Amino acid sequence: MDCPPVSLAGYFDDKFAANADPWRYRESWYEARKRALLLAALPRARYRGVFEPGCAIGALSAELARRCEHLLCADLAPRAVATARARLAAFPHADVQTLAMPHDWPAGRFDLIVVSEFAYYLNAADCTALAALAASSLETRGTLACCHWRHGGETWMLESAQVHGIFAQAAANALLHGVVQIEDADFLLDVWSRDALSVAHREHA
């Protein structure tokens, strides 16, 4: 197995310097479909405070902004942060910051935390720390969503199944309840909540 880059921020900034949309967030049907399924899997229509670490250029962020009162997005690549800020300029309640996970985890608690397609770039210890922070930073009825590509990438990256196993353990430790589990041919999607009630049961409670 190859060693990860000395600087993940530099690795990603080089990606965005070579191509403003290196993973084809804007034009890929895979990306559009995955975002739609992730958004549909969230058990609440609206959230107060949302945190999306690893937001890249803000493709998912713009959709999350439509469903919350305040959105905090973060990425460690300055070029991605600049693009995300431009994309979210129409949403005054959205804030994009340059933060490296898990070391720059923000203070406070959130109703929704979305970890999508970036945790497998971390080493196992940092991924475990990230999962624990996410699971323990939810409000009383908060939601945690985790989604990752299944077909690998750089040789030094974690496998998506390993990432989701780490998050599942953190969710169990935090006494979160499973809401959705999807094993798509292309990605894994897990959603947990502090709220034990399902969507239908909550609507009729």
Q: How confident is the model at residue 22 (pLDDT cuts 50, 70, 90)?
A: confident
Mean pLDDT of the chain: 94
In the three-class reduction of DSSP (H, G, I as helix; E, B as strand; rest coil), residue 123 is classed as coil
Domain regions of the chain by residue span: 8-204
Rounded to two decimals, what is the model's pTM? 0.95
Please, are residues 125 and 95 in contact by the beta-carbon 8 Å criterion?
no
- Cα–Cα distance measured from residue 141 to residue 161, given in angstroms and rounded to the nearest whole number: 26
The CATH number of the structural domain formed by 8-204 is 3.40.50.150
Q: Taking Cα atoms as reference points, which of 177, 110, 106, 192 lies closest to residue 147? A: 192
Q: For 1-21, how does the pLDDT look when each residue is reduced to its tens digit (9 = 90+)? A: 566 676 888 888 888 889 888
Q: For 185-205, how does the pLDDT look when each residue is reduced to its tens digit (9 = 90+)? A: 999 999 999 999 899 998 887
In the three-class reduction of DSSP (H, G, I as helix; E, B as strand; rest coil), residue 154 is classed as coil
The DSSP code for 25 is T
Q: For 151-185, how does the pLDDT look when each residue is reduced to its tens digit (9 = 90+)? A: 988 899 999 999 999 999 999 999 999 999 999 99
Alpha helices in the chain (DSSP H): 8-18, 29-41, 59-65, 78-87, 124-136, 160-173, 199-204
Check pLDDT > 80 for residue 143.
yes
